[in-house]
Amino acid sequence: MSNTSLDTSTPHPEQDGEPVKFADYTSYRQAFLATLAQARSSLILCERDFSESPLGSLDAEALIQSFLTQPGNPQLRLLCFDVAHLAGACPRFTRLLDRFAHRLLLQRVDSEALCQWDKGFIVADGQHYLLRHHFDWPRGETGKNTSIIRQLERSFEEMWQISAPDLAWQRLSL
């Protein structure tokens, strides 16, 4: 990781319109699915464990499958601090991983190495974002603010560099 520390502040929207705020888990899940639906070529996702997200739902499975079967070479990269929920409680997502392993890149972030990071987010195509302000709360926003998107992408890349695949993603083939 570079000598610069991750910026954990939330910038204020300056351009590209005002963000759409959400404050409860139902609205967060709806915004999560709406952001997935925006993606055509790239998706980056980062969460503590995705247990509050609808990532294991039938709707998310359909959206991700549609995304991964788009023309071109769409790619989903996912960072997770704890993979147990996805590996054990999200069989639909696991099926997608089995089917699209060449387009789904999954890594686990060592929480000790990155203990100050506490936000969940999605960036779709570098144009749309969802930001949950803290892992412990549903409060957040979605929008198109390019400065927020660039900051999230930079943070994602820094975390990606210090993360690694986790054995929980790999299932036994018997």
Q: Between 3.30.870.10, 3.40.50.150, 3.30.70.580, 3.30.70.940, what CATH number should domain 20-168 receive?
A: 3.30.870.10
Whole-number Å distance between alpha carbons of 19 and 171: 40
Query: In the beta sheet, which residues pair with residue 140?
Result: 22, 132
Domain segments of the chain as ranges: 20-168
Per residue of the chain (174 residues), what is the pLDDT tens digit?
A: 444 444 444 444 444 579 999 999 999 999 999 999 999 999 999 999 999 999 999 999 999 999 999 999 999 999 998 888 998 899 999 999 999 999 999 988 876 656 678 999 999 999 999 999 999 999 999 999 999 999 999 999 999 998 888 665 555 333
Which amino acid, one-letter code, is at 11? P
